[in-house]
Amino acid sequence: MTSDPTKLDGNTETARFAGLRFEDFRRMAEDSSLNIYEKIGFPKEFREGHEERIFSDILTKVETLTKCHKRVLDVGSGCSELPRLIIRHCVEREHELVLLDAREMLDMLPDERCATKIAGRFPDDCYELTSHVKDGFDAIIVYSVLQHVFLEANPFVFVDSLMALLRPNGGLLLGDIPNVSKRHRFLSSDAGVAYHRAYLRTNGLPEVKIDQIEHGRITDAVILGLVERARTAGFDAFVLPQPAELPMANRREDILIRRP
């Protein structure tokens, strides 16, 4: 496995942590041989030392998080430093926070008075959420989760169910979405080729499969389809880039949905 988090050969992301579904995460959460990053499906190099910057980026995108006394939902919280930063921020801002993931993941996170942990798979198996919805949430964070939902559920139903929980002026961030079309665009550019050659120490060209369906991978069509769906449902929706310094910015992007 490479120690370079920006390497684009695909091996690091696709081999060891490929095709992870909710039940895989549940199992990984209990596997004591894995560190907190591996438990959420990332080689340590992709997350360790990067999560403060990831959270700062989330704060610039979901404005309501920077206010006080808001209602916040984090779907697919995981167990690394990122949900801990979210919890600390919510304590400081006196937000009411709901963390939603498998029980095994949530058990690894600290307990705070402002935070309610709800175990289950969104939207179908988290019955307890109903009593915590009240009139919805001002901020919903779904970071690095959509690609896993995409493997086992209808992403439109998933996003529709999230939008239904958004209060007026609320923001829903579907963050850190690996977009294979974006990855191919980058690898087809001079910069992408130079990048590939530098990191693989090769003179070869990267493999770019633009005319083939890659099953289980999110493409431009999925991203733009979700944006169109949100807009049709009366929300504002945008595709946003990640700051270049984030480790997977050259192949991932975010969708921000706001309820007017």
According to the binding rule CB under 6 A, does residue 149 interact with ligand SAM? yes
Stretch that binds ligand SAM, among 70-78, 90-98, 222-230, 251-259 (CB under 6 A): 70-78
What are the residues whose beta carbons fall under 8 Å from the beta carbon of 13, sequence distance 6 or more? 178
Residues in 98-137 at the binding interface with ligand SAM, rule: CB under 6 A:
100-102, 105, 121-122
Instruction: Kindly state the smallest distance separating residue 77's Cβ from ligand SAM, in Å.
Output: 6
Contacting residue, 80, 116, 179, 242, with ligand SAM by CB under 6 A? 80
13-20 contacts at long range (C-beta below 8 A, 24 or more positions apart): 13/178, 16/43, 17/41, 17/42, 17/43, 19/151, 19/216, 20/148, 20/151
According to the binding rule CB under 6 A, does residue 140 interact with ligand SAM? no
Instruction: Kindly state the smallest distance separating residue 237's Cβ from ligand SAM, in Å.
Output: 20
According to the binding rule CB under 6 A, does residue 148 interact with ligand SAM? yes
218, 258, 164, 66: CA torsion to nearest 10: 110
Structure tokens at 205: 């060209």
Specify whether the CB–CB gap between 169 and 259 falls below 8 A.
Answer: yes
- Binding mask 186-225 vs ligand SAM (x if CB under 6 A, - otherwise)? ----------------------------------------
Specify whether the CB–CB gap between 253 and 242 falls below 8 A.
Answer: yes
Q: Of how many residues is the chain composed?
A: 260
Instruction: Kindly state the smallest distance separating residue 218's Cβ from ligand SAM, in Å.
Output: 13
Contacting residue, 36, 65, 75, 180, with ligand SAM by CB under 6 A? 75
Instruction: Kindly state the smallest distance separating residue 189's Cβ from ligand SAM, in Å.
Output: 27
- Cα 226 from Cα 255, distance rounded (Å): 9
Edge to edge, the sheet with strand 236-241 lists 115-119, 96-101, 71-75, 137-143, 166-178, 252-258, 236-241
Instruction: Kindly state the smallest distance separating residue 48's Cβ from ligand SAM, in Å.
Output: 12
- Judged by CB, which is closer to ligand SAM: 8, or 177? 177
Q: Which residue has the tokens 């209808």?
A: 154
- Cα 30 from Cα 49, distance rounded (Å): 23
- Judged by CB, which is closer to ligand SAM: 81, or 195? 81
- Contacts with ligand SAM by CB under 6 A lie at 22, 25, 40-41, 75-78, 80, 82, 100-102, 105, 121-122, 143-145, 148-149
